Structure 1
Amino acid sequence: MPELTPASIPDFPVEVIRSTKRRKTISARFHGNTLQVRIPARLSRTQEQEAVAELVEKVARSRTSSTISDAHLAARAHALNAEVLQGRAKVSSIRWVDNQTRRWGSCSQLTGEIRISSRLKGVPAYVLDAVIVHELVHTFISTGHSAEFWQWADRVEKAERAKGFLEAWARMP
């Protein structure tokens, strides 16, 4: 069962609908602002709780990164700079851009401007955090992707997992 953290507690109502016609599949879709989760009627309460928690966590995670504004992106970058990079990054701005098709992000070391590809709006929060930290590190490490660079960039939580996610995501059509 997924662990519930403050970030995974939904900011939307959840309605569980048991269906006698549904045999195996479980689905979730929004009806207005309510997430309707449809499950087979035969599931036990424990199975229902596990299935619903898993789906709600996935939906909450995807909504979190897909609805982040530029202002929230900036707040996240400043928080990650303080928490992960000991305030070393010099970021003047960070924003979503639609014109990056080959990169996840880019950074101007001279101005401290960071651009994050809007292709990442649907990724889990830990993946977005890893990309943001990667770009933040570029603001104070000028030697490209050196060993020192990766020592800083890999300080973000789930760094290796995020790299794997992005590698797979890049291969998606």
Structure 2
Amino acid sequence: MAEEIPLRTDDGAPVIVRRSARRRRTVAAFWEDGNAVVAIPASFTKAQEREWVRRMLAKLKAKGERRGSGDGRRRPSSDSALAQHAALLSRTYLGGRAVPTSVRWVTNQNSRWGSATPSEGTIRLSHKLQPMPQWVVDYVLLHELAHLLVAGHNAAFWRLLEAYPETERAKAFLEGVSFATSRGLGEGPASVDTDED
């Protein structure tokens, strides 16, 4: 039986802990369908589970293994894959309430990481996000999905993003990139926001 815990790898992949009564002392970690799976003995305590998950995720990262077949399922590069990923994020974090009419990568967005036009239900993400960690891309996409439900940046809007565990980390990451860019240390848009039109 697999037990999902609210944990993600550094690049945003879900982590599944699989307890096995047949497993006595060995612990294993591997990629399966885009998830990092850590197999542990059923007899482990919660503290042992946390420690071994931490250790095994570090080993997976050190080995540089890719999820699944490396087919990019966790890094949507086409507009259709991005739209499918947006639907998954909406179901997972927003109860499926945000339903965009289109989601696409754009190359002409130089001052924003993402934008949404709530009246049309459209979302655009800057192509400059593509090489960033998936948890950052997911945050920007969720930010724009949330704008389809709440147009401004009021308390109700930010409450929608509380469900995503990487919100604060991703905001800090993007602020760091924007800071570096503003001082000529790199390239990237300066903000995540919604269109006003």
User: Which category describes the TM-score, using the shorter chain as reference length?
Assistant: 0.5 to 0.7
- Match of 1:71, SS? helix
Opposite residue 76 of structure 1, the aligned amino acid is H
Partner of 1:41: none
- Match of 1:104, SS? strand
Structure 1: gaps (5+ residues): 10-49
- Cα distance, 1:54 vs structure 2: 2.2
Structure 2: gaps (5+ residues): 1-9, 11-28, 37-57, 187-197
Partner of 2:64: 56
- Cα distance, 1:112 vs structure 2: 0.5
Partner of 2:128: 119
Which 4+ stretches in 1 moved above 2 angstroms? 2-9, 50-55, 63-67
Partner of 2:103: 94
Opposite residue 102 of structure 2, the aligned amino acid is S
- Match of 1:116, SS? strand
Partner of 1:136: 145
Overall identity of the aligned pairs, in %: 36
- Match of 1:150, SS? helix
Paired residues in the alignment total: 130
Note the alpha carbon deviations across 1:113-140, whole angstroms, 9 max, x for none: 1000000000111111100000001001
Normalised by the length of structure 2, the TM-score is 0.57
Normalised by the length of structure 1, the TM-score is 0.65
> What's the RMSD between the two structures over aligned residues?
2.8
How far, CA to CA, are the matches of 1:122 and 1:55 in structure 2?
20
Partner of 2:161: 153
Contact 2:75 2:134 in 1 (8 A): no
